[in-house]
Chain A
Amino acid sequence: MERGLLAYILIPLLSAIVIPFAARNKPRIADIIANVTLLAGLANMAYLLLNPSNIAESFSNIPGDGFSLLMVFTIYLVALCVVFFSAFFAGPMANRQAYFCLMLISVAAMCGVVTTSDFFTLYIYIEVLAVTSFALITTDDTSAGLEGAIKYFLLTFPASVSIIVGLSLLLLSVGGFSFENVKMFMSAGSPDGAALFGIGLILLGFLIKAGVAPFHAWVPDAYQGSFAPVSTHLAGIVTKISGIYAIIRISMLMRFSEGEAQALAGTLMFLGMLSIAVGAIAALRQKDLKRMLAFSSISQLGYIVLAAGLGTPLALIAAIFHLFNHATFKTVLFLNSASLEKAAGTTDMDKMGGLEHAMPWTSWTSVIALLSTAGIPPLSGFWSKLLIIVALWAGGAKVYALLALLFSIVTLAYFMVMQKKIFFGKKSAAAGISEVSAPMLAPVVLMSAVIVAVGLLFPYFYAYLVETIAKRMIL
């Protein structure tokens, strides 16, 4: 574990302990404490990442492999947007203190996941994250939220069992749980069957937790049923950290690019492609906005898993970059769906229409986010998809590269349908609907600015990824 990053776990945890006492009589204090904690962490992280002297010193002042640092930054960014948004979204909430407390614990657990250096600690933090997620999904006490949470519970707990059995097989053949052990084991030669089976079971558990294609059944239900800002939190960051992060990490450790674990790498790439296809095709025929966004999320996850399965340094930095971009644009889209839910009172796309003039900010930030998702230059999503496709082509997986390109167009298609149904078209349904308040627009506008800025400052981010991840990954 990077010792310098320990503060990013401990401070949210401390704030979470303070909130129930400090905000017992004045619930508003809970949102102030949560926002200040996350803002301070984000400012600190932004200073580390975006310091101008980084370029001059070619990133030698950044500790570790840069992956953890970027992920901590993403976690704080998304969590700050969600917490700030939900402070204004809910109005008088019955259990405000508990909500913000759980949010901070979830942030602490996610930071734990990305900074740890052994599989067992990873497992513990992921369980903590899952428990907070069950509670957060059911925040608004509706029957839909409860249903989503129960489905999430019943599918992710067997995934944990699969991870435990995989860990025991890892202990049997590798002799320990730490990343260092696995690294040394892999450098000693080709892995034996038991180790591969163990890693395979661990991967299976993380694939279920990430919601990759054949195991995606819980994703749309959990996202659709949950309290609106919480679905942003889940889609933007929680499922990515609890599943995809570990998959990318395993791909780094197992050296998928060198072909020593060919079967696992091939399976991972196939599941990634399947996920892209299933998510995109299912998203085309959805009526509910949040459900459509959930399927789109599954489809975008597919790109990350596909690149992680290939495992070359270029593919891995592309996967990490797409993970960051996915967090930004999916946060915008889900927060906009929450705004629409509040303004129009529904998330059914057929009941909306012509909201462009009633809600101009929501409409245009959605356009930015969807163009980024579909990969239109110069927005950030274009660069990461380009990197993924170039890496696939260079890595010899030309069929996958072409299919990925094709489904990128399908992505544009379903988002255009969404935009037309909700924001353009007839104005009949728009009567009496007005834009949400400025504080609720602030996180969305911030994230849109991040999307544009990352797209325009791509050379800086590319240099960061190459210098801190690709070069230090040579184990």
Chain B
Amino acid sequence: MTNSFALDWYFIALILFIGLYCMLVSRSLLRQLIGLEIMSKAGLLAVISSGALTSNLSLAQAVIITMIVIEVVVVAAGLALLAKNFRINKSVDIWNLKGLKG
């Protein structure tokens, strides 16, 4: 039983760092958004795993469902920003976002 939870946390860390790597190396804003999504999935897995470990699954499930809803809203807002950005700047390259300096 304990071993499977250790495996859970191993995969959570792995997914988290895959998402972080995706954010760090890609120049496309869209890929950065995908990296963010992967990271937040690791967060959700962590919550459900710790809920199962402390036999607090009902609380964890309620939390997860709320978090999924919040995440959808945030991603929709983010995609709207990216779409607006593409319409104005005609590019999804993150290195083109350098108008503000000081």
Selected contact of B56 from candidates A128, A175, A224, A225, CB within 8 Å: A175
Residue-by-residue, is A310-345 near B (CB-CB < 8 Å gives 1, otherwise 0)? 000000000000000000000000000000000000
- A385 close to chain B: CB less than 8 A: no
A172 proximal to B (CB < 8 A): yes
CB-defined contacts of B67 to chain A, threshold 8 Å = 164
Secondary structure at the B interface, as helix, strand, loop or mixed, is helix
Are B97 and A150 interface neighbours, CB within 8 A? yes
Mask of B17-57 contacts with A, CB within 8 angstroms, 1/0: 00110010000010010001001101110110111011010
- A131–B73 touching, CB < 8 Å: yes
Q: Inside 8 A of B19's CB, which chain A residues have their CB?
A: 161
Per a CB cutoff under 8 Å, which of B23, B47, B73, B84 touches A138? B84
Q: Cβ of B56 and Cβ of A143 under 8 Å apart?
A: no
Contact A171 B40 (CB under 8 A): no
Task: Say whether A146 contacts B50, CB under 8 Å.
Answer: no
Which of B43, B82, B89, B97 has a CB less than 8 Å from the CB of A165? B43
Q: Which residues of B contact A (CB under 8 A)?
A: 12, 16, 19-20, 23, 29, 32, 36, 39-40, 42-44, 46-47, 49-51, 53-54, 56, 59-60, 63, 66-67, 70, 73-74, 77-78, 81-82, 84-85, 88-89, 97, 99-100, 102
B36 touches A157 (CB 8 A): yes
- Given A169-B50, A288-B102: A160 and B40 interface contact (C-beta under 8 Å): yes
CB neighbours (8 Å) of B88 from chain A are 141, 143, 146
What A residues does B102 contact at CB under 8 A?
A: 220, 224, 286-288, 291
A131 to B75, CA, bound (A): 9
Report which residue of B56, B77, B78, B84 has the largest number of chain A beta carbons within 10 angstroms of its beta carbon: B77
| Among candidates A120, A123, A150, residue contacting B81 with C-beta atoms closer than 8 Å | A150
| A286: B residues at CB distance < 8 A | 102
Q: Which of A130, A165, A177 has the most CB of B within 10 A?
A: A165
Across the interface, which residues of B come within 8 angstroms of A147, CB to CB?
85, 97, 99-100
- Given contacts A164-B47, A176-B59, are A131 and B74 in contact (CB under 8 A)? yes
Residues of chain B with a CB closer than 8 A to A160's CB: 40, 43, 74
Closest to A294 in B: B102
How does the 8 Å CB contact mask read for A268-294 relative to B, with 1 for contact and 0 for none? 000000000000000000111001000
The 4 closest A-B pairs by CB, nearest first: A164-B43, A168-B46, A172-B50, A168-B47
A158: which B residues are within 8 A, CB to CB?
Answer: 20, 23, 36, 39
Question: B56 contacts which chain A residues (CB < 8 A)?
Answer: 171, 175-176
Separation of A150 and B73 alpha carbons in the complex (Å): 15
CB closest residue in chain B, given A126:
B70
Expressed in whole angstroms, the Cα–Cα distance for A42 and B30 within the complex equals 42
Q: A164-B46, A176-B59 are in contact. Are A148 and B81 (CB under 8 A)?
A: no
Interface assignment of A31: CB less than 8 Å from any CB of chain B: no
Contacts of B63 in A (CB 8 A): 120, 167, 177
Contacts of A168 in B (CB 8 A): 43, 46-47, 49-51
21 contacts between A and B (CB under 8 A): A146-B84, A154-B23, A154-B32, A157-B40, A158-B23, A158-B36, A160-B43, A161-B19, A161-B36, A161-B40, A165-B12, A165-B42, A167-B63, A168-B46, A168-B49, A171-B51, A171-B59, A175-B54, A221-B100, A225-B99, A286-B102
Chain B residues, Cβ within 8 Å of A144: 99-100
Q: How far is the CA of A161 from the CA of B35 in the complex (A)?
A: 12
Q: Name the B residues within 8 Å of A131 (CB-CB).
A: 73-74, 77
Could you tell me if A172 and B54 are in contact, using CB atoms closer than 8 angstroms? Answer: yes
When distances are taken between beta carbons in the complex, the residues of chain A under 8 Å from B51 are 168, 171
| With A134-B78, A138-B81 already in contact, 8 other A-B pairs whose C-beta atoms are closer than 8 Å | A124-B66, A124-B70, A128-B70, A153-B77, A157-B36, A168-B47, A172-B50, A221-B100
Tell me which residues across on chain B come within 8 A of A175, comparing CB atoms.
54, 56
A208 within 8 A of B: no
A414 CA / B87 CA spacing, docked (Å):
39
Closest Cβ–Cβ distance, residue B63 to chain A (whole Å): 6
Confirm or deny: A135 has a beta carbon within 8 angstroms of a beta carbon on chain B: yes
- With a cutoff of 8 Å between Cβ atoms, the chain A residues found around residue B23 in the complex are 154, 158
In the complex the two chains form, what is the Cα distance from A124 to B74 in whole Å? 11
